[in-house]
Amino acid sequence: MSADKAEVAAETVAKKARTLEGRVTSSKMDKTVTVLVERQVQHRLLGKTIRRSTKLHAQNDLGAAEGDFVRIAECRPLSKTKHHRVVEVITRANG
């Protein structure tokens, strides 16, 4: 039984949190930022590449400001709409 528990523990450690990158669009809330994540998908009929976007709320412990490009990681639910955490500020906004 102990070998099975060790395997499960190793799998849990090996799992990485899913990360995304996007631009901070709002930092007006306390400890929370809104991040716009854009992705490119191919139109199913025309084949043309189009941009799709998603707005996500993330825990802001690093002090990311509006306009910053950040990396966010999935985590446990922190509130009703917040399921991500700011891991790294990639580039700061000008100014």
Task: Return per-residue pLDDT of the chain as tens, 95 residues.
Answer: 555 665 555 555 556 779 999 999 999 999 999 999 999 999 999 999 999 999 999 999 999 999 999 999 999 999 999 999 999 999 998 86
> Does the predicted TM-score (pTM) go above 0.75?
yes
CATH number assigned to the domain covering 17-91: 2.40.50.140
Predicted pLDDT at 81:
95
Nearest CA to 64 among 20, 34, 95? Answer: 34
Predicted pLDDT at 55:
97
Predicted pLDDT at 3:
59
Hey, what long-range contacts does 42-48 have (CB within 8 A, 24 or more apart)? none
Domain boundaries, the chain: 17-91
Predicted pLDDT at 68:
94
